[in-house]
Structure 1
Amino acid sequence: MPIDTTEHAHGNNSPHSSGPDPVLPPLSRRQADRFVHLALRTAADLGLAVSYQGGAALVPTDRSAGNPVLGLSNLARILAHFDEDRWPLLIEEHFRQLLEQLRQGPPKPPDDPERELIQRLVPRDALPKDWTADRPDFLPGLISVPSAEAGGVLTMYLEPADLGLTWSDAERFGLTNLRTIEDQVEYVDHDDIRIAFVSGTTFAASRALVLDTVLRESLHVEHAPYGVLAAVPARDTLLLHVIDGLTVIPALGVLLNVAARCHARDPGPLSPDVYLVTPDFTWHPATTALPDHTPLRLSPALEDLTKVLATRESTTDFRK
């Protein structure tokens, strides 16, 4: 079954939709040029000798001097939400905070890992391959990593042995503490479709790792007999639709569109894909990509579910 993702499109008329910069999306090429110019000027004002050679980062002109590499990708995504006249101040604040963190040195390990570690979803390709080779994917391209946050600085612990822990213990602590985070939930209703936007922290998407807790405590859903549709487009956002009928099909179109937009625009992109999560919390792709740019189709798992839902609804109509 092909999926229509256009009816509920958001932002298709934005100034960025016609041609984002290939390196610093979602900014346009003109905006990206201005951003790099402002970033170079700000870095120079702060005493940093850096240059821009592409690759979405300012790199030290003297590699032996110990100056930091200043990544620009997430900052570009942040700036896209503000008027350009605010950019100089935002860039300066960002660089000053970053330099202050660097001057303070690396964060010290948590004193109490059992209480401080929090599990986090991280793109596999954002980390060196040899650091993650033995870690399984939670979702394609995303791994679950123990982390700790202190003073606004997030540190990931890919070698829990450094904390005197096994990986399984660190992961268990991290998941336990992830369950204690409080979500902000906003609902969007349209044509009998309800989408829950879970946000409020930089661990919002990571709460997918403890989805049973999210459903029970944040959405007040004790049991979802047909499962849910879920997406983790960016670190600050978890999208959910509790399936209760064939409205799952238009809901999938909405989620695909919103997830793709968040993944393209928001800081900390994770995945643009939408998943079917069964009542036993097994994650399956919700769509199947076909070659030659043909429309997406329902995945076999979701196709089977729609047949069950169609049978249920036809039986209900007959009884009426």
Structure 2
Amino acid sequence: MRIDTAEHAQGNIPPQSNLPDPVLTPLSRRQADRLVHLALRAATDLGLTVTYQGGAALVPADPSADRPVLGLSNLARIIARFEEDRWPSLIEEHFTGMLAQLSQGPPPPPADPERELIQRLVPRDALPSSWTSDRPDFLPGLISVPSAETDGVVTMYFEPADLGLTWSDAERFGLANLRRLKDQVEYVDHDDLRITFVSGTGYAASRALVLDTVLRETLQVEHPPYGVLAALPARDTLILHVIEDLSVLPALGVLLNVAARCYSRDPGPLSPEVHLVTPGLTWHPATTELPDHAPLRLSPELESLTKLLATREGAAQSRYPMP
């Protein structure tokens, strides 16, 4: 059971302390302060001289030092699932494992890039702009990068030439290996709607890059006649709904809600948006955001599809009237 401690105030805590922390989501400000305190103590016990200056990371107290920079964003999302009395041990375990990885140095480059590279979706704004300026978006704010995983550590390769490859070759290898991954699938039926959750690896959301394979091999859907709704809220979650009729509208509401929750709480956030993917695998936004915080509206593409579905359902009902 997931326990969201951010929603449970404890004792007579000042109301300001229970406001959401603007950086270390989904924790409250009080909980974020406690995370930073525990993280600093754990780092000190491990022999590190670091400080917290905001920005969701512990940085070297000596400004001239390059390392280590210890991120807290994903740690905040992990510990939010547990009661606070478990936080000290979880944080200590997290930093012990992180330092063990750092002490071993960077993982070696893949010996066989053709078999080892896996394409990965990452947020553009999480990376230095100089690394990504020449890479197109797969979806707004998300780029596709060749990567390799060694002992649970993922390394991304922004200069495939270092591996003796062109970008196109590295991407081709990465997509081919991404297609070979096996999905863990959970079907959730909600008010006669079927929502599919694809998970099982840290590349689950990246499987959107090979959605045709996911539909064919995982969902056993060769050619969805009206396309699918898709959301990629976090790196280990891909949410899908195969469109069959006007139930796409309540399905959109479910996906918007679940995607927003996953994006705000799960490690490795990618995007809270829901997308309409056509039968030809063209991606469009499912909604259009209006100014002044007005309610979302259907995107032109989804609005056109719902009109088509309404026309066809109306024609079917007139052809076969209810008794």
Q: TM-score, normalised by structure 2?
A: 0.93
CA distance in 1, matches of 2:29, 2:318: 58
Residue 32 of structure 1: aligned partner: 32
CA distance in 1, matches of 2:192, 2:308: 19
Q: Does 2:159 match 1:155?
A: no
CA distance in 2, matches of 1:242, 1:50: 49
What is the CA distance between 1:316 and its match in structure 2? 0.9
CA distance in 2, matches of 1:191, 1:88: 41
Q: Which amino acid aligns with 2:173?
A: F
Residue 7 of structure 1: aligned partner: none
Q: Is 1:121–1:144's contact at 8 Å kept on the other side of the alignment?
A: yes
CA distance in 2, matches of 1:65, 1:284: 44
What is the CA distance between 1:15 and its match in structure 2? 3.6
Q: Which moved more, 1:205-214 or 1:56-65?
A: 56-65
CA distance in 1, matches of 2:294, 2:255: 19
What does residue range 246-257 of structure 1 map to in structure 2 within 5 Å?
A: 246-257=246-257
Q: Which amino acid aligns with 1:140?
A: P
Distance 1:14 1:220, change over 3 A: farther
Residue 195 of structure 1: aligned partner: 195
Q: Is 1:122–1:143's contact at 8 Å kept on the other side of the alignment?
A: yes
Identical columns (%):
78
Residue 270 of structure 1: aligned partner: 270
What does residue range 221-240 of structure 1 map to in structure 2 within 5 Å?
A: 221-240=221-240
Structure with more relative contact order (C-alpha pairs < 8 Å, separation 6 or more): 1
What does residue range 125-164 of structure 1 map to in structure 2 within 5 Å?
A: 125-164=125-164
What does residue range 173-192 of structure 1 map to in structure 2 within 5 Å?
A: 173-192=173-192
Residue 3 of structure 1: aligned partner: none
CA distance in 1, matches of 2:206, 2:317: 40
CA distance in 2, matches of 1:53, 1:316: 63
Give unmatched runs, 5+ long, in structure 1.
1-10
Residue 316 of structure 1: aligned partner: 316
CA distance in 2, matches of 1:197, 1:132: 29
- Partner-residue secondary structure (3-state), 1:250: helix
CA distance in 2, matches of 1:53, 1:159: 31
Q: Is 1:48–1:67's contact at 8 Å kept on the other side of the alignment?
A: no
Coordinate RMSD, CA, aligned: 1.3
Q: Is 1:23–1:56's contact at 8 Å kept on the other side of the alignment?
A: yes
Q: Is 1:52–1:59's contact at 8 Å kept on the other side of the alignment?
A: yes
What is the CA distance between 1:65 and its match in structure 2? 4.5
CA distance in 2, matches of 1:65, 1:279: 52
CA distance in 2, matches of 1:19, 1:239: 29
Q: Which moved more, 1:61-70 or 1:173-182?
A: 61-70
CA distance in 1, matches of 2:158, 2:94: 26
Per-residue Cα deviation, 1:109-157 (whole angstroms, up to 9, x for no partner)? 0000000000000000111111111110000000000000001110000
Segments of 4+ in structure 1 off by > 2 A? 13-16, 63-67
What does residue range 1-320 of structure 1 map to in structure 2 within 5 Å?
A: 14-15=7-8, 19-320=19-320
What is the CA distance between 1:66 and its match in structure 2? 4.8
CA distance in 2, matches of 1:144, 1:310: 36
Number of paired residues? 308
Residue 6 of structure 1: aligned partner: none
Give unmatched runs, 5+ long, in structure 2.
10-17
Per-residue Cα deviation, 1:18-46 (whole angstroms, up to 9, x for no partner)? 73211111011111111111101101100
- Partner-residue secondary structure (3-state), 2:139: coil
CA distance in 1, matches of 2:222, 2:268: 30
CA distance in 2, matches of 1:164, 1:213: 28
CA distance in 1, matches of 2:124, 2:47: 34
What is the CA distance between 1:64 and its match in structure 2? 3.3
- Partner-residue secondary structure (3-state), 1:38: helix
CA distance in 1, matches of 2:8, 2:255: 22
CA distance in 1, matches of 2:241, 2:296: 19
Per-residue Cα deviation, 1:274-308 (whole angstroms, up to 9, x for no partner)? 00000010000000011111100000000000011
What is the CA distance between 1:57 and its match in structure 2? 0.8
Q: Is 1:286–1:299's contact at 8 Å kept on the other side of the alignment?
A: yes
What is the CA distance between 1:319 and its match in structure 2? 1.2
Per-residue Cα deviation, 1:180-228 (whole angstroms, up to 9, x for no partner)? 1111111111111111011111000000000011111111112200000
CA distance in 1, matches of 2:83, 2:258: 22
CA distance in 1, matches of 2:237, 2:204: 5
CA distance in 2, matches of 1:66, 1:170: 29
Per-residue Cα deviation, 1:65-100 (whole angstroms, up to 9, x for no partner)? 454011100100011111111111111111111111
- Partner-residue secondary structure (3-state), 1:268: coil
CA distance in 1, matches of 2:257, 2:314: 29
Q: Which amino acid aligns with 1:91?
A: I
